[in-house]
Amino acid sequence: MTFRFPSSGQFVKWAPFPHPELDFSAEAERMSWARRWLTVPEVLEVGTDADSQWLRTRALPGRSAVHPFWRARPRTAARGIGSGLRRLHDRLPADECPFSWSVESRVHRAAAERRQELLDTAPPIDRLVVCHADACTPNTLLDERGEPVGHVDLGRLGVADRWADLAIATYSLAWNFPGDWEDELLDAYGIARDEERIAYYRRLWDAT
């Protein structure tokens, strides 16, 4: 659960502890690393007790790309997400990143009978970048003009092929907006569609 405290400009994320998928200390570590180059939430506190974990951060300006304001303007939102993802990939230094989101680091989450197939069918790397690793529509914040102003939910940030992010950023548009806006996102990012890599990284996402 995520709680917003408007008077103090803060958010608190809460989850059970331990949790099979969520590790707020890992997310805090990734945000603190990324803040040197990119606009992401400032970590104010992270902690655990016997059955809970929490992460307190300072709010960023802008609206989530799934805010009703942007649901009514899907083309602008898709382009903002695409340009924001390009900025993230260009600014974060992959050669200095201590975190991985590679195929090899992810396949253990798949069913045992799928793991070797996912390893064997991985396409060649196009470009290694620091991926957001959850580049779904809600996790880009946009200003009033639709320009990207920040990113949230960075708990799995790590180095991978840029198509690991692009496949999911485009995939998620249909979950949030009517119509097909995938090519708008890719155009704003500045890349031609790659059907093989999109199909593979969506398959990996669904499996893991």
Kindly report the backbone phi and psi dihedral angles of residue 12, in degrees, each rounded to the nearest multiple of 5, phi listed first: -130, 125
Longest dimension (CA), the chain: 52
Angle at 13 between CA 12 and CA 18, to 5 degrees: 135
- Asked if 89 contacts 194 with a C-beta cutoff of 8 angstroms, the reply is no
| Angstrom distance (rounded) from CA 44 to CA 15 | 17
Which residues are catalytically annotated? 134
Q: Where are the alpha helices (DSSP H) in the chain?
A: 24-34, 68-71, 74-91, 103-106, 112-120, 162-176, 182-189, 195-207
Name 73's Cβ contacts closer than 8 Å, sequence gap at least 6. Answer: 146
| Angstrom distance (rounded) from CA 18 to CA 79 | 37
